[in-house]
A and B are shown apart, each in its own frame.
Chain A
Amino acid sequence: MSFLEEYINKKVIVLTNDGKTIVGDFIAFDQTSNIALSKAIERVYSESKPVKEIELGVYITRGNNVCMVGLLNQDVDESLNFEETRATPIKVILD
């Protein structure tokens, strides 16, 4: 769990077990991977519509709901075209 120290204060994307992708500044975590983000934005992808960004402010998620935490490459992220991006929703992890 000392892994996530490297990501602190950086922009990350959190993938939750219910298939949500939340982007934000990584503020805090603990051994059970409870996660706190600030300036969090949920990116909602759709098969037919452009990406929708919902601002959440400070976002805290319980560790047992976390699937993956990815470090974002800010340059690449800024160049992404959300207008044209379409995607199938990510599956929910049930157990």
Chain B
Amino acid sequence: MIFYQLFKKLVGKVITVELKNDLIITGLLEKVDQYINLQFANIKIFEPENHPQFASTESCFIRGKSIRYVFLPENTIDNELIQESTKEYHEKRKQN
């Protein structure tokens, strides 16, 4: 839940993801779902000379399971807000 909320806040921002097959993709985040599957617009592949397979791809859907890292620009997320949400989430879990 927490990470889904976090990614919802990132919609409309430009982020970079590194996939488990070492592909690195930067793009404008359009949509997220509960599995952190992502939809991007205006993507750029890192080192496109090595990956001509995607020369004609401008937008894409990335399955959450294939993501290794997500890189965000500094100050994209409010750390305090996240920390508080995390505390609340775990307290609720303890209660249930």
Q: Does A90 contact B (CB under 8 A)?
A: yes
Roughly how many angstroms separate A45 CA and B54 CA in the complex, as a whole number?
A: 12
For the residues of A in contact with B, the DSSP-based class is: mixed
Q: How many of chain B's residues touch chain A, expressed as a range?
A: 20 to 34
A67 near B21 with CB under 8 A, answer: yes
Known: A87-B50, A90-B51. A71 touches B19 (CB 8 A): no
Pick the contact of A73: B39, B57, B65, B66 (CB < 8 A).
B57
B60 near A17 with CB under 8 A, answer: no
Q: Which residues of A contact B (CB under 8 A)?
A: 1-4, 7, 13, 15, 17, 19, 21, 33, 43, 45, 63-64, 66-74, 76-77, 80, 85-88, 90-93, 95
Known: A67-B21, A90-B21, A92-B21. A21 touches B53 (CB 8 A): yes
Cβ < 8 Å to A, chain B residues 51-91:
51-63, 65-66
What are the interface flags for B5-27 relative to A under an 8 Å C-beta threshold, 1 for contact and 0 otherwise? 00000000000000111110000
A80 near B61 with CB under 8 A, answer: no
